[in-house]
A and B are shown apart, each in its own frame.
Chain A
Amino acid sequence: MRSTLQHPLQPIIFSAKEAHQKGWVVYDDQGVVSCSHPLVKEALAVDVATITPEHQYPLVFSSMSDLAKALSSLSNSPAMNDGRSLREKFDEDFQEYLTLMQSSQENGQWEPDYGTYVFDHVMGDLYSILPEEWHKVGLVTSTGKLLSDPEDKKNWFDVRNTLGGLSLGFIGASVGGNVIEGVMREVRCSHVKVADPDWIELNNLNRLERGSIRHLGQSRASRDDIRNPYEVRRYNKADIAAYYQNMVDPYANWFVYPEGLNSENFEKFLLGNGKDEPRLDMLIEEADDLSLKIEIRKLCRKHGIPVLMMTDFGHCAILHFQDFKNDPEMNLAFAASDEEILGQLDKALSSGNREEIFSFVEKLCGDQCIRGEFREWVHGRGEQPTSSLPQSGATAMISGGIGGKIVARYFLGHQIPSRLIYDFATGTVSE
């Protein structure tokens, strides 16, 4: 269990058994919890947090019963190393839990020494959930064996271990948030990094995964002067993305860079810190910053880290994949040499000329990417309510799904093309 928060909104997790033994969680006769876990005290700046039953969510039994229904009991239940099947192990653990639950009831305990407490200090809610092993199984079991290597030689555990052990990094959490969702649903890895310096705005809600009015500004209590209407505290996109993903899998380790990426933290983001923060297995790049796009590719190529970029242009979701791990000679751009793209970047940044910017985009992404209504916008034709690049929320969502598939399939050994254009206006896929 963690002794520090990896990001400010991170749910605090601690073993139920340890919590009961150390007195971190104590129930009174009415079921009100007094919580004195060190991180909870720190997060709320109190000596003891009081959590009423309205804010307690005991989920172990319900989750166990969910798995009891979901896990296959047929002969093809995945085999574990000790010879038991997954289902058999579950049955034993479930029985053990039921026994514990009964004895704790008889002893007057509110909750048995089983599973993990999760304290969501953002909402003030206390959850008790399954131990990590079963919680993670629950998150991936419905995927079944849809994911496998090209020859289908890996067993289910091998597949899940391969994907679960990955360390993935995301730059950009706006459209990138959709890709995070797609990847996490498909891959469910344990180490994730996300960098985005931007805050959430109303106009982002058309495409922000899980975005809602909850995220348009912090509470009045967060102000230094609670009556000052100009004091607006915002939520960082990366923090929110990590928070919601952690509320799906509290056991996952999220490393958040709310300051974005810069020359001082590029290397740590990519290569880790040699201690708790690992090196990336892949970077998923969803940044707006043109020079950052090139800079990060240079570093990824240098360090052999593959780069996936999902771009949404109008009704097209465009995949670009640069496997720098297996092809360290690859160009930085899809449709230009390094010299050309660097020269074009310089023009785009230095002249301020719009045409130079789109020329950069075409060199980076290749031709045929700008089409349909999006092409009309590029050429300044038609009405334009937004002062920004128009983005379809549905395309962003689809990009997320595609991204998830690609990441999973790459690490299971499938060939990934360097570019695919999914055009939902025409219903075509092209390279």
Chain B
Amino acid sequence: MSFSSIFLAKNAHLTQDQLPWSIKILTQQKFVELSKDPTSLTLEQLQYFAHFGVLAPTSHNTVPQRFKFAVEKSSIEIWLDRHFVLPVSDKVGRQALVSLGCVIANIELAAQTFGWEAVTDLVSIEPKYLLHIPDIDSLNRFTHIATIAFSPSITPSSPQVLKDMVDRKVLRAEYDKTVHLTDELEQKLYAVMDKYPGTYLHIIKNQLLMRTFGKFQENADRFVMENKAFAQELGEWLIPNDQILPPYAMKGIEFGFDDEFAVHIHQGLKGEKRLLPDQIMFFAKGGKAGIESSSAVAVLSVEKDDVSHRIDAGRAYEELALLLYRHNFFTSMHAGITEVDWVNATFAATVLKTRFRPTAVFRIGKPKRVIDGQRPHSARPLLEDVTLT
């Protein structure tokens, strides 16, 4: 029987790309019953952990993660599908690694819920094996990034985090700027960073700095969207609302676009239809407005821009996002400011006053309109479709 048929709740109203979000949250007992040996994990149990990795947020919702299961070692290998590394907006594969960091975080947290300690070892990789590969038949398409090994040595943690992973979504909407982060929550966020030496969290709540940040993001967005290749790529990954397959990419509704506009912007960015300069301006201003509406902006900077720190940035982001969600805060990533090098450098020097590279930037808030919080989840593939044999 497939994973889908065992662990995904049957719901005739769900389209295939929404199905992964219907994962059943197992009780401790139900999870244990999946194995006869309490000291080793079965394939189903490993798959169950990995499924939460499928739900993790990824850059442009590219879902570049692939899994291999080593039952005899009670481990999951995390692989990068290079075909899904964005060639224009993620030239060096930085955001793909941040995405895999989110995947790893979810798997580690899922395992801890059931009393399994997760230890992640990174594979030593040459940078060229992180770059986009256009040929889907290439032998070098997949790169082994990490192996997560599990051992039954800890007390199970609260299953709430699993529900958070299922319910949470990246929300690109206007937030309610009257809502503030409490000092207590802020301290909890900083405490998460103890696990990630060399990665630093900056939380910006000052209105003036947030406006400045919003301006930088707007400049980044406008710069890249005026770039034909970038716009083309974004158009390929920003799809009409009714497009179910393939089960990745971002739908216009996730940006608050109605069906008509979602089609228009998709076609416009791809160059199939004329997109006017002020439409690009409004798109970019929307990002700025979103930032200015936020309770805070958070930046994860790394002391070294290498594989392990990029992954740690992703892991940290996902932990922070889940913690925030538990306190009813949503997040939304802003990649333009991290991937346009000159904007990144200006932002780091002028706003953050740091020499470390901002690697993940996200805003935090509660939706101003209740209806925005009810937008559908972004698409996800089935686990079997992202499993390597």
The answer to whether A351 and B349 touch (CB under 8 A), given A230-B342, A386-B277, is: no
Residues of chain A in range 222-238 having any CB-CB distance to chain B below 8 Å: 223-225, 228, 230-233
Residues in chain B near residue A352, CB distance under 8 A: 255-257, 261, 265, 282-283, 286
State whether the Cβ of A357 lies closer than 8 Å to any Cβ in chain B.
Answer: yes
State whether the Cβ of A260 lies closer than 8 Å to any Cβ in chain B.
Answer: yes
Interface of B is mostly: helix
The answer to whether A351 and B256 touch (CB under 8 A), given A231-B346, A231-B350, A263-B178, is: yes
CB-nearest residue of chain B to A198: B215
Q: Are B282 and A380 in contact, with the CB atoms below 8 A? A: no
Give chain A nearest CB distance to B255 CB in angstroms: 7
CA of A225 to CA of B354 in the docked complex: distance in angstroms?
10
Residues in chain A near residue B264, CB distance under 8 A: 353
Q: Are B278 and A197 in contact, with the CB atoms below 8 A? A: no
State whether the Cβ of B35 lies closer than 8 Å to any Cβ in chain A.
Answer: no
The answer to whether A387 and B346 touch (CB under 8 A), given A259-B211, A351-B258, A352-B286, is: no
Contact with A along B270-281 (1 / 0, CB 8 A): 000010111111
CA of A350 to CA of B252 in the docked complex: distance in angstroms?
11
Residues in chain A near residue B286, CB distance under 8 A: 352
Residues of chain B in range 336-389 having any CB-CB distance to chain A below 8 Å: 342, 345-346, 348-350, 353, 369, 372
CA of A198 to CA of B208 in the docked complex: distance in angstroms?
10
Count, chain A residues at interface, CB 8 A? 31
State whether the Cβ of A74 lies closer than 8 Å to any Cβ in chain B.
Answer: no
Choose among A225, A230, A387 the residue that contacts B281 (Cβ–Cβ < 8 A): A387
Residues in chain B near residue A264, CB distance under 8 A: 178, 207
State whether the Cβ of B226 lies closer than 8 Å to any Cβ in chain A.
Answer: yes
Choose among A262, A349, A353, A384 the residue that contacts B207 (Cβ–Cβ < 8 A): A262
Residues in chain A near residue B255, CB distance under 8 A: 352
Q: Are A357 and B277 in contact, with the CB atoms below 8 A? A: no
Q: Are A258 and B277 in contact, with the CB atoms below 8 A? A: no
Q: Are A228 and B349 in contact, with the CB atoms below 8 A? A: yes
Contact with A along B86-104 (1 / 0, CB 8 A): 0000000000000000000
State whether the Cβ of A375 lies closer than 8 Å to any Cβ in chain B.
Answer: no
Contact with B along A186-214 (1 / 0, CB 8 A): 00000000000111000000000000000
Contact with A along B173-191 (1 / 0, CB 8 A): 0100110000000000000
Residues in chain A near residue B274, CB distance under 8 A: 380
Residues of chain B in range 199-258 having any CB-CB distance to chain A below 8 Å: 207-208, 211-212, 215, 222, 226, 255-258
Choose among B178, B260, B345 the residue that contacts A353 (Cβ–Cβ < 8 A): B260
Choose among A228, A289, A384 the residue that contacts B277 (Cβ–Cβ < 8 A): A384
State whether the Cβ of A388 lies closer than 8 Å to any Cβ in chain B.
Answer: yes
Residues in chain A near residue B353, CB distance under 8 A: 224
CA of A228 to CA of B279 in the docked complex: distance in angstroms?
34
CB-nearest residue of chain B to A390: B278
Q: Are B211 and A351 in contact, with the CB atoms below 8 A? A: no
The answer to whether A263 and B177 touch (CB under 8 A), given A199-B215, A380-B274, is: yes
Q: Are A259 and B282 in contact, with the CB atoms below 8 A? A: no
CA of A342 to CA of B385 in the docked complex: distance in angstroms?
46
CB-nearest residue of chain A to B274: A380
CB-nearest residue of chain B to A384: B277
Choose among A232, A262, A349, A353 the residue that contacts B350 (Cβ–Cβ < 8 A): A232
The answer to whether A260 and B211 touch (CB under 8 A), given A354-B276, A380-B274, A387-B278, is: yes
Q: Are B277 and A387 in contact, with the CB atoms below 8 A? A: yes
Residues in chain B near residue A389, CB distance under 8 A: 278, 281
B-to-A contact residues, CB < 8 Å: 174, 177-178, 207-208, 211-212, 215, 222, 226, 255-258, 260-261, 264-265, 274, 276-283, 286, 289, 342, 345-346, 348-350, 353, 369, 372
A to B CB contacts below 8 Å, 24 in the list:
A224-B353, A225-B349, A230-B342, A231-B346, A231-B350, A232-B346, A232-B350, A259-B207, A259-B208, A260-B211, A263-B177, A264-B178, A350-B256, A350-B369, A351-B258, A352-B255, A352-B283, A352-B286, A353-B258, A354-B278, A386-B277, A387-B277, A388-B278, A389-B281
Q: Which 7 A-B pairs have the closest CB atoms?
A: A230-B345, A231-B349, A197-B211, A387-B277, A259-B207, A353-B261, A259-B208
A-to-B contact residues, CB < 8 Å: 197-199, 223-225, 228, 230-233, 258-260, 262-264, 289, 349-354, 357, 380, 384, 386-389
